[in-house]
Amino acid sequence: MFADNLILVWVVAAIFYIPIHVGVPSLVVFLVLDVSDDQRKMLLKRVVIESVISVLITFPLAAWLWQSYLWVSVILLVAGMLVPFWTLKSYFK
């Protein structure tokens, strides 16, 4: 019974985490950065790819670590959300 609830918890967490993880950097590319259309397309593609890769790495690791090291799991999820912004840092003026 506990394992079924645990899977449900992680599915719900993924449903909220993934759109925020990919959406916020994408919105930054569209709304904040003053770049040409070609740069915007390139940056958007790069940010989405980096976001998906970081989700695929951080989310399973956080799910694996959460029982033993909850604080490490949370820090890992938050740090994973910052990965796409590392690409964008050079475009902020």
Percentage of residues of the chain with pLDDT beyond 70: 95
pTM as predicted: 0.78
pLDDT of 50 above 60: yes
The C-alpha atoms of residue 11 and residue 45 are separated, in whole angstroms, by: 26
pLDDT of 1 above 60: no
Tokens of 80: 């994973």
CB 53, CB 84: distance < 8 Å: no
Which pLDDT band, with edges at 50, 70 and 90, does 84 fall under?
confident
Distances (CA, A) of 11 to 41, 43, 49, 56, 84: 30, 29, 21, 14, 22
Domain boundaries, the chain: 37-93
What is the tens place of the pLDDT at every residue in 18-30?
A: 888 889 999 988 8
